[in-house]
Amino acid sequence: MLRLSTLLVAGAISANAQSLYDAISKIPELSNFTEFYNNNQAVASVLFNNQANYPITFLAPSNKAFADYQARTGTPLADVPAEKLLELVQYHTLVSNLSLGGSGDAGASGLTVPTFLTNTEFNNRSVGVSMASKFGGTARASGQVVFIRSAESGGSKKRFVLSRQEGGAQSSIRSGLSSNVNLTVVNDEQGLWVGGRFHIVDGLLTPPTLCKTTIREATLTNLDRALNRTGLWDALDTSKNVTCLGPNDKAFADAGSPDSKLNQTALSNAILFHTLPEVAYSDYLENGQEFKSLQNGTVRVKIEGTGKDRKIWFNNAKVVDANVL
C-alpha cells in the first residue's frame, strides 16, 4: 500500500515537472507551435520560464490554427515581427491554472479570464472587485480577457488529445471582434507542466480593439448610424469601464428606427441609457441586479435557466450575443 502510493506521487511529480516545451512537443497536432517555440525562445521564455507568472494556462494553437492564419493573412506566423508575436502569445496565456474538464472551472455560465495582454492598444478595461479577488489581485487580473464557454451538460465528457471523444458540445474561447475558436481540453497527464497547464485552440485568438471597429465589424448598421449622428464615438472609444448594450438592426426596426427619427438630444439619451458605467461580463451577472446607466435610468438584469439554456435580459431586451470584447 505504502509502496503503491509512493509510486503514484512520483508519477504525478514527474508529469508536473516537465517544461511547457516538453509537454507540447509530445502532441503531434502542436508540431507547428513546437517549431515556432523553438524559433522564438526569447518571446517564450519571458512568459513561460518566469516563475513570477505562475500558475498559468496556455492556449496552444494547433496546426490548423497556423494553417488558417496563413490562409487568411497570406503571411506565415513565422514572419510576424517579434513584438507582435509577444502580444499574441501574451493573449493566449491565462493568469490561472484551469483544468476546464467536464463541469470544471468554466461552470455553467462560462468564465471570463484575464490574460497577460496589458498593452492599452488592446486593453483599456479596468479591473472590477470581483474579478480581482477571483484572479489574484488587481495587478494580476489587469490584462485583457477571453471568455470561455464550457462544453455544456451532455457534453460533460472530457475531450482528450489522444483519445478524443466526439459527440459532446464543443467548448469554445471568445476573443476580440466576436471571434470564437474551439477548445480541446488536455487531461492532467499530458497537459500539466511546471508553470500550470496547456489546452489546445484550433484558431488564433484575436486581440480586442476599439469599440468603433468592433461595432462596425459586427455590422450593427443602425447603431453605427446612431453613434455617427450623436457624435458619441470618441467618448465611447476613450471611456474605460463601460458596457455598451448594443441593439441590433432588428431591435432598431422594431422600435420604429430611432436612429433616424429621434432628434440628436433624444437619441443621445437613448444611447446613454444603453451604456453601463462598469464592465458587465455575462458570467458575473445575477438575476435582479440593477445598474444605473449613464443616462441615470435603471437597467435591471433578468436571468432564466442555466447552462446552455441560460438567458439574460436587460430590462425587456434579450441578450442575443454576450461578451463582445
Ligand X SMILES: *[C@@H]1O[C@H](CO)[C@@H](O)[C@H](O)[C@H]1NC(C)=O
How many Cβ atoms sit within 10 Å of the Cβ of residue 251? 17
In the complex, what is the shortest distance from the CB of residue 126 to ligand X, in angstroms, rounded to a whole number? 3
Give whichever of 142 and 305 is closer to ligand X, judged by the CB atom.
142
In the complex, what is the shortest distance from the CB of residue 247 to ligand X, in angstroms, rounded to a whole number? 14
Give whichever of 159 and 310 is closer to ligand X, judged by the CB atom.
159
Q: Looking at beta carbons, which residue is closest to ligand X? A: 126
Distance CA 216, CA 218 (A): 5
Strand partners, 304: 311
Cell of 168: 459532446
User: Locate cell 431591435: which residue?
Assistant: 251
In the complex, what is the shortest distance from the CB of residue 317 to ligand X, in angstroms, rounded to a whole number? 19
- Binding residues for ligand X (CB under 6 A): 16, 31-32, 54-55, 63, 66-67, 70, 76, 97, 99, 120-122, 124, 126, 128-129, 170, 181-182, 192, 195-196, 202-203, 209-210, 221, 224-225, 228, 237-238, 241, 262-263, 265-266, 272, 277-278, 295-296
Instruction: Write out the H or E segment, with its range, that includes residue 146.
Output: strand 145-149
* Sign, CA torsion 47/49/50/53: positive
Give whichever of 20 and 86 is closer to ligand X, judged by the CB atom.
20
> Rounded to an integer, what is the distance from CA 128 to the centroid of its chain?
16
Distance CA 116, CA 122 (A): 11
Give whichever of 122 and 314 is closer to ligand X, judged by the CB atom.
122
In the complex, what is the shortest distance from the CB of residue 154 to ligand X, in angstroms, rounded to a whole number? 16
Cell of 7: 509510486
Give whichever of 7 and 67 is closer to ligand X, judged by the CB atom.
67
In the complex, what is the shortest distance from the CB of residue 263 to ligand X, in angstroms, rounded to a whole number? 4
